[in-house]
C-alpha cells in the first residue's frame, strides 16, 4: 500500500526536513516487508493557492484516484500508536492501494476536503506548525510499521 502526504507548504532544507527524511527513510526499510510504502510527498505551493478553498482544490487534486483519504485536523479522532498501527494494518488488508494523509494550510482544511475524508485524525488538541505535523505523522507511521513488525522501537 502506497502512502502519501499531501500538504500545503514546502519543506526546504533545515532541521524539520532532516527529521522528516530520517523517518521516511526508516519507514521505507520497516514498511517494505509489511507491504507498506513507499511514502510519497505532494506539496501544494501556498503562493499559488492562497485561500483555504484554493488549497482544498489543490489538495484534492494531489490525492490519487481511489485513495483512502485521512484528514489531519485538531477536531479529529485521537488514536494511540498501537491503534494507529492496527488501523493501518486493517486498511492495507482491505486491499487499499493508496492511503493519503492531508495536511491543510494555516487556515486549516477546506470543507470539501473534510467532506471527502474517510477518516479525520488529530495529533492532539493543540495546533502544531505544519512542518512539525509532517514530521510527527512520519514518525507515527514509522512507529506503526515497527509495531506491526514486532520490533522494540515502541516500548509501551
In-domain check, residue 156 = no
pLDDT of 57 reads 96
Query: Does pLDDT of 50 surpass 80?
Result: yes
Q: How many domains does the chain have?
A: 1
pTM: 0.95
Q: Which of 104, 69, 87 is nearest to 143 (CA)?
A: 87
101's grid cell: 494523509
Average pLDDT over residues 37-51: 94
* Sheet containing 98-103: order of strands: 39-44, 2-8, 98-103, 68-78, 119-122
In-domain check, residue 155 = no
pLDDT of 20 reads 97
97's grid cell: 492501494
CATH number at residue 112: 3.40.1280.10
Q: Which domain holds residue 27?
A: 2-149
Amino acid at each position: 500500500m502506497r502512502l502519501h502526504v499531501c500538504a500545503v507548504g514546502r519543506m526546504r532544507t533545515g532541521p524539520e526536513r532532516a527529521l522528516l527524511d530520517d523517518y521516511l527513510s526508516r519507514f521505507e526499510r520497516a514498511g517494505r516487508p509489511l507491504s507498506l510504502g513507499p511514502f510519497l510527498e505532494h506539496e501544494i505551493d501556498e503562493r499559488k493557492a492562497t485561500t483555504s478553498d484554493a488549497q482544498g482544490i489543490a489538495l484534492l487534486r494531489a490525492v490519487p484516484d481511489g485513495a483512502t483519504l485521512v484528514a489531519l485536523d485538531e477536531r479529529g479522532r485521537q488514536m494511540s500508536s498501537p491503534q494507529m498501527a492496527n488501523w493501518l494494518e486493517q486498511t492495507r488488508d482491505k486491499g487499499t492501494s493508496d492511503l493519503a494523509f492531508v495536511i491543510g494550510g494555516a487556515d486549516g482544511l477546506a470543507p470539501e476536503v473534510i467532506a471527502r475524508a474517510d477518516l479525520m485524525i488529530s495529533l492532539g488538541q493543540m495546533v502544531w506548525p505544519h512542518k512539525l505535523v509532517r514530521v510527527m505523522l512520519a514518525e507515527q507511521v514509522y512507529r506503526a510499521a515497527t509495531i506491526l513488525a514486532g520490533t522494540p522501537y515502541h516500548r509501551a
